[in-house]
Amino acid sequence: MDKIKKIYGVVLAAGESKRMGFPKQLIKIGDRTMLQWVLNASLSSRLDKVVLVLGYMKDEILRSLGTFLEDPKLMIIENSRYREGMGVSISCAMGKIKDRCQYVMILLGDMPFVREDIIDRLIEAYLLSGKGLGAIVTDERQTHPVIIRREYFPYLLSLQGDKGARELFKKNPDDLFTLYFPFESTDIDTPQDLRDLNSCLKK
């Protein structure tokens, strides 16, 4: 595939997990950490490259990734301004990859139920749609992962603070493709979220 047509995934995992009280990236869900589940899905998918954005406790998280670090599709960048929020992580990643790909998919490091088939089906259906923006919809709610074409990269590069790409999608409804795909799309933010998740897994 020509480099300008490539699809890069950006996994956001730089945050401090303040509401959780300890790093979500290191929480075990079954036999893997939350972040390992997301990386396994994204690295196994048809994404051409997976860019992992780290910040808070970067060294500890890197040590936890084991053989994932050997995957040639994985690219790791550090957001030293991680305390400023998600928008800075997105713009930091885009600064590194904006000239290498035609599309970028944004994934969250605390959504362990995103699977390879979800990523691949969104890519396939989105490309066929001809739209510039794409997102998963589940239970009547738009959620991640989302995919964005090159003409919107300047918006992503301009992001600051804790502002993500939500406004971009709101302002361009006519250029938005959505794919309904029912799955557990809740991100795990608090200890109660984690308890609820563990309770579901034991059923």
Q: Where are the domains of the chain?
A: 3-202
Peptide bond into 145 cis (omega under 30): yes
List, for residues 64-75, the tens digit of each pLDDT value. Answer: 999 999 999 999
Q: Look at the block and give the residue holding tokens 């308890």.
A: 195
DSSP state of 57: B
Mean pLDDT of the chain: 88
The predicted model scores a pTM of 0.88
Give the mean model confidence (pLDDT) for residues 53-58.
94
The share of the chain scoring above pLDDT 90, in percent, equals: 67
Q: How far apart are CA 13 and CA 16, in angstroms?
A: 9
Q: Which two tokens stand for residue 178?
A: 């959505």
Element (H, E) at 104: strand 103-108
Q: Average pLDDT, stretch 97-120? A: 94
Between 1 and 101, the higher pLDDT residue: 101
Q: Please report the pLDDT score of residue 98 as a whole number.
A: 95
- List, in sequence order, the alpha helices (H) in 108-152: 116-129
> How large is the average pLDDT for residues 37-43?
97
* Structure confidence by residue, pLDDT tens digits, 151-189: 999 999 999 988 889 999 999 999 999 999 876 545 565
pLDDT at 192 (0 to 100)? 64
Scored b (16 or more CB within 10 A) or e, 31-67 reads ebbbbbbbbbbbbbbebbbbbbbbbbbbeebeebbee
Read off the pLDDT band of 10 (50, 70, 90): very high
The superfamily in CATH containing domain 3-202 is Spore Coat Polysaccharide Biosynthesis Protein SpsA; Chain A (3.90.550.10)
Question: Cα dist. 5→49, 57, 99, 150 in Å?
Answer: 12, 34, 11, 10
